[in-house]
Amino acid sequence: MSERLRDPQPLLRTRIGSGRGAMEQPNATGDGDVPLTVRFWAALAGTGVLAGLAGIALMRLLDAVARLASGAPAPVVPLLGAGVIGGVGWFLLRRLVPGRSDVDDCVWTGDGRLGVARSTGTAVLSVTVVGLGASLGREAAPKLMGGVAGSLLGGWARLTVPQRRLLVACGAGAGFAAVYDVPLGGALFTAEVLLGAVRLPVVLPALACSSVATLVARLGLPAGPTYPGLPDLPFHPAEVGWALLAGPVIGLVAVGLVRLVAWVSRHQPRGWWALPAPLGAFAVLAAVGLAFPQLYGNGQVIAQLAFTGSAPVLLLAALCVLKPLVTALCLGSGATGGLVTPTLATGAALGGALGAVWSLLWPGAPVGAYALIGAAALLGAAMQAPLAGAALVLELTHGGFDLMVPLVLATALATAVSRWIDGYSIYSARLGPR
């Protein structure tokens, strides 16, 4: 046959001299039930623009709230305010506003439709409580609103359900990419986590949407690493030995972390108990934070301390235990927020603590190198997405490229161990019953 069996058909319709087909390369597949039509690409471009604009708006809100919180007489006050605002807000949203506001469930089991009002309210509440000091990540809100953009434009363009799911997933990854300036990490998050397929009909729209959103977001948000000022982290053979031993340990920690997320998600308060629960959880966080102020917020302070090697080993050891506990406490109260940066911070603290002990046996590598490797390994294992985990850490820090071999090795081992033992991720563990 002279025609290439692919949908859409290529411009060159004859095979090369060997007679072999282009689709014998497994990722170079046809579009399948998600045709990448002109209408889809137009909706994708619009989704990227809207995701970038939503990212700007949400981060401006978060910065304004954070500035307001910084003027409080004590950090306890903003957190108690977050408990009141979040408790009342989420209680009313869940009781009075219909619609779906979970991107993961929408893409995996839904029809690609998200409730605009409920999702917008959820996103605004999420960044508000994070700005006030809640131990949750800021990426949940832009991820959700990027998905909403895809849902809206997919409906207006009259796309099919499979096309709309792909568009929502691309929008969610693009929202993530926009606020952290991580276009590659956002695209891999879309492909690896939300769609589970690293093939051209998925990767191409994911990359396009994330790059458009990141470019738009740079009009209103600063570009550059989230964790700046890392020292030089050169390769050292000790890091490979550590990765071989620490990778499986970090995989075990990831299993425990994911199971903790699953447990608190399943046992969130119901009925009228949902109203005061965030206040109680944030009050506990405020009290613990008096002794460990690094626990306030999404974990950026913890990761920065670990990456720069400027924290005592005992402090890192304490933080790698306390951070997931207070994050689970916030999540279990019914609060909505991200888990990427808290997980990354936990991995950085764990890697730094384990690395400091390893340096007593095999000196030569800085503690910050072990922290960076640990962050990628725990993030990749907890998301069940080693490519996205490694890419996100490298993009968020703009460093660590000399550590690529031990970083990838530890991430692969941690993900393999967590998959072998359990297989859930911080996203699948949060899904409610069918």
pLDDT tens, residue by residue, 387-421: 999 999 999 999 889 999 999 999 999 999 999 99
**Rounded Cα gap, residues 296 and 327, in angstroms:** 10
Mean pLDDT, rounded, for 78-107:
94
Residue 338, helix vs strand vs coil? strand
What does each C-alpha distance from 208 to 168, 201, 214, 215 come to in angstroms? 14, 11, 10, 11
Q: Which residue has the higher pLDDT, 287 or 25?
A: 287
Q: What is the pLDDT of residues 147-190, one digit of tens each?
A: 999 999 999 999 999 999 999 999 999 999 999 999 999 999 99
**Rounded Cα gap, residues 127 and 120, in angstroms:** 11
What six digits make up the tokens of 312? Answer: 């005592």
The amino acid present at 148, given as its one-letter code, is V
Which distant-in-sequence residues (6+ apart) come within 8 Å of 340 by Cβ? 137, 139, 176, 379, 383, 392
What does each C-alpha distance from 5 to 31, 34, 48, 434 come to in angstroms? 12, 16, 31, 39
Mean pLDDT, rounded, for 272-284:
95
Residue 329 has pLDDT above 60, yes or no: yes
* Interior angle at CA 393, CA 389 and CA 395, nearest 5: 115
What six digits make up the tokens of 381? Answer: 């294992």
Q: What is the CA radius of gyration of the chain?
A: 22
Q: What is the pLDDT of residues 26-41, one digit of tens each?
A: 888 888 889 999 999 9
Q: What is this structure's pTM?
A: 0.95
Do residues 215 and 50 touch, judged by C-beta distance below 8 A?
Answer: no
Domains and CATH numbers, the chain: 38-217 (1.10.3080.10), 237-430 (1.10.3080.10)
Say what percent of the chain tops pLDDT 90: 87
- Strand-pairing partners, residue 338, are 137
- Strand-pairing partners, residue 137, are 338
